[in-house]
Structure 1
């Protein structure tokens, strides 16, 4: 992403030809709302100008100002239990009537209950909690805990990672579009190469080779950089769904233990069953020292995040680590409890497994049909379909990704394009086979027309 030309693709600055053609097919009602939005809000990459104006979001669907519905496989990774979930709506309404706000220095049953629900889902149940109003704030808080606990300020993080849009978290993150023109970053942020493995190209043996190579470099960096207090990473990268093997995490945990480094997992977009397990790291049988959660935690309604730190790192009693106005969030806690209850009551873990298996088989058929599908990476309902010019050259096919995005939008399917060439689907855990078939058919038709 080093040149201005590369920055003009969809997902970055919203000025591509495909975006302009999309706007041309919108009617007056949609365009008027977009113009009103643009007049009052600051422009920012990936957000404003907007795609369209909506009037409803329920279940798996968005409805625009003209009544057109879109099956939403994007949802800002926040709609695990679907939009307008009845459990969450009822819980928030009840909390609004009983106790809508808890001032700092006070507590209440609902916040303790929410924190306990999160801790009780861990393997060891040996964590303590702090709530924050955003995932970015939670990552910043996690890095503060690591500094206090280790006495070291340096953090190793990964190129291509995303941890939030605050100045501290863009310093830790590895995406250029967030750092552009922002000047000096937070000192002590050390970048290493991420695990970028593939499902189809090389098979498991090559995945292990990639894991070993990336961890060799990580350990080399620790030895030669010195004073590393924490390693921060997404155990499965949400944007384009890179999934390290178990062996990667076993050795990573050993490296952290050997050098006295805290392991921080950012599971903000991927926890709450999206990966097939309640917390992503449970797929690998290890635990981080600090776990960061957000997005779906608020049931798709309340901005809510949390930090879970191992009990032994409760060492900053004299420091105001967070001190947020909503550090004991009544409404957010009600949403957390309702979200987890809904996941359990409606067996969403089983549905995630069933639908993940179904979509894996169907995408395999598309992989065999289209040479432009370079790779398919799936963990639960974290899904990325990587597009290339062809499998022999493996060059990223940005233009095809854009064409497919707008073709699918015009036909009622919304999703995210990641890395310029990856179709990324994060459907809610409530998704059914019929809805998945609709999405697959839309993708198939778009590929047939565009290739």
Structure 2
């Protein structure tokens, strides 16, 4: 497998620079990394690990040596901050009540309250909820619902997307890394290109014209395949790329025309990350909204779907038959995190400081032409590093060097697609934290380019 494919989802864990970084860690840390590698199955992007953490608090992570890093990755769970004191207090209360699990066929008050809260926050018309342990399972539920309601079985999703590792989730995902070597995947999974303005293959600058060419791919599939159940995508991609409102308005119109479900995966983008409670609020309302990651308050695994009441019509089936479907401990953590985001206006903080970061990144771009493009919304930003700004050739070597330079300066970011520095800070960050991010990037770029 080539490095380009392995770089789709994140930075690789077997590069020379990764080994150099690990070699510089203390003996105690290296011993624990070796013990970890001895007992866990090795897989790209995770094991062997990068470092060993002792604490995760607020917007930061701390290793065994006491080094602090402003975490711009967090696997997307840390919208309300790691170890949020109000989330931990809610979990403690729930444990003291001796209600930490509810067998199937029963419900509990925390689960009901969380479901009601989601209905109140999501766009009008999305008023039925189903929970599950993780995002992959939530995608499975959303697709299953679409297939049962429509009576169809094919799907359209996007190349380079990631929707999880379940069988349907990996099939609709657009990354070979998660489907290669698996043999035949779910049949009927068509893929199209996600709108890309900076690197569109036609060399166009008119966004409407670019959108129309991407939309044509969807129409061509539907012209030949009338049995499509759903179109599945992230309203803003993980890279990130922000499509135009026109693009999603047209996709919504196509779905309405053909009687197709529009499924939005906001496992990453939800709960204020893009400067609104949900990214779809900047575009259109889907038929199913898929949520996860920060839904568990940064403490426990929890995901789910929110959909229209009219689609509550598969009572003869079980599309989400999970042991922890209504886990009261997870629900109490999720509800506390949402209430914390509300109380402290973290959605507004994401919007304000996201704009502040973009302004600072634009200034860096003027100093460093290798910053080819800046995209994203709120605390969901990406910096595309290029070898040749005119030809927009990707620069993976520089991206990896800058990533490790930032780590040395206390900022932990992630590389995606080989050359894009992705920055997804906790929504509790301050302006001083943003200045640290910009300073670390500037110093790391100067060091790498000297």
Distance 1:169 1:276 in 2: 27
Cross-structure match for 1:416: 414
Return closer, same or farther for 1:282/1:203 CA change in 2, 3 Å cut-off.
farther
Determine the C-alpha separation between the residues in 1 that align with 2:231 and 2:28.
Answer: 48
Superposition RMSD in Å: 1.9
Q: CA deviation at 1:127?
A: 2.1
Q: State the match for 1:66 in structure 2.
A: 65
Partner of 1:137: 137
Structure 1 residues 8 and 227: alpha-carbon distance in aligned structure 2, compared to 1, 3 A threshold: closer
- Give the deviation of 1:215 after TM superposition: 0.8
Matched, 1:50 2:49: yes
Is the aligned partner of 1:246 residue 2:245? yes
- Is this contact kept in 2: 1:377–1:384, CA < 8 A? yes
Residue 69 of structure 1 contacts residue 412 of structure 1 at CA under 8 Å; is this kept in 2? yes
Instruction: State whether residues 270 and 291 of structure 2, in contact with CA within 8 Å, keep that contact through their aligned partners in structure 1.
Output: yes
CA distance in 2, matches of 1:31, 1:414: 19
Q: CA deviation at 1:20?
A: 1.6
1:40 aligned partner: 39
Partner of 1:327: 325
* Gap runs ≥5 in structure 1: none
1:262 matched to 2:261: yes
C-alpha distance in 2 between matches for 1:85 and 1:435: 18
Report the counterpart of residue 93 of structure 1 in structure 2. Answer: 92
- 2-side partners of 1:227 and 1:180: how far apart? 26
Q: TM-score, normalised by structure 2?
A: 0.96
Shift of 1:13: 4.3
Equivalent residue, structure 2, for 1:307: 305
> 1:124: which partner in 2?
124
**Is residue 104 of structure 2 the alignment partner of residue 104 of structure 1?**
yes
Q: Which residue of the partner structure matches residue 14 of structure 1?
A: 13
Using the TM superposition, give the Cα deviation of residue 199 of structure 1 relative to its aligned residue in structure 2, in angstroms. 10
- The alignment of Structure 1 onto Structure 2 pairs a total of residues equal to 447
CA distance in 1, matches of 2:147, 2:6: 38
Distance apart, 1:115 and its partner CA: 0.3
Q: Summarize the Cα distance change of 1:9–1:333 in structure 2 as closer, same or farther, 3 Å threshold.
A: closer
**1:384-419 CA distances to partner (integer Å, 9 max, x unpaired)?**
000000211211000000101111112211011010
Residues 125 and 227 of structure 1, relative CA distance in 2, 3 Å threshold: closer
Deviation at 1:123?
A: 2.4
Output one character per residue of 1:100-134: Cα deviation in whole Å (capped at 9) or x when no partner: 11110001221111001001112214420100000
Q: Where do 4+ consecutive residues of structure 1 move more than 6 Å?
A: none
Partner of 1:214: 214
SS at match of 1:144: helix
1:436 Cα deviation after fit:
0.8
Measured against aligned partners, the alpha-carbon deviations of 1:114-166 in whole angstroms (never above 9, x if no partner) come to 00100111221442010000000000011100110000010111000000012
The whole-number CA distance in structure 2 between the counterparts of 1:79 and 1:7 is 28
- Residue 330 of structure 1: CA displacement? 0.4
User: In the TM superposition, what is the alpha-carbon distance from 1:204 to its structure 2 partner?
Assistant: 11
Distance of aligned partners of 1:9 and 1:140 in 2 relative to their CA distance in 1, 3 Å threshold? closer
Match of 1:376 among 364, 367, 374: 374
Output the TM-score relative to the length of structure 1.
0.96
For 1:222 and 1:168, the matched residues in 2 are separated by: 20
Decide whether the 8 Å contact of 2:399 with 2:421 is kept in 1. Answer: yes
Distance 1:161-1:397 versus aligned 2 partners, 3 A rule: same
What residue number does 1:224 align with? Answer: 224
Q: 1:430 aligns with which of 428, 431, 436?
A: 428
Q: CA deviation at 1:12?
A: 5.5
Name 1:401's counterpart in structure 2: 399
Partner residue, 1:114: 114
Distance apart, 1:268 and its partner CA:
0.3
Relative to structure 1, the CA distance from residue 357 to residue 9 in structure 2 (aligned partners, 3 Å threshold; closer, same or farther) is closer
Q: C-alpha separation between the residues in 1 aligned to 2:187 and 2:135?
A: 21
Could you list the per-position Cα deviations for residues 338-392 of structure 1 after superposition, in whole angstroms to 9, with x for gaps in the alignment?
1111011111122112211211111110111111111000211110000000211
Tell me, which stretches of 5 or more residues in structure 2 are unaligned?
Answer: none
Partner of 2:170: 170
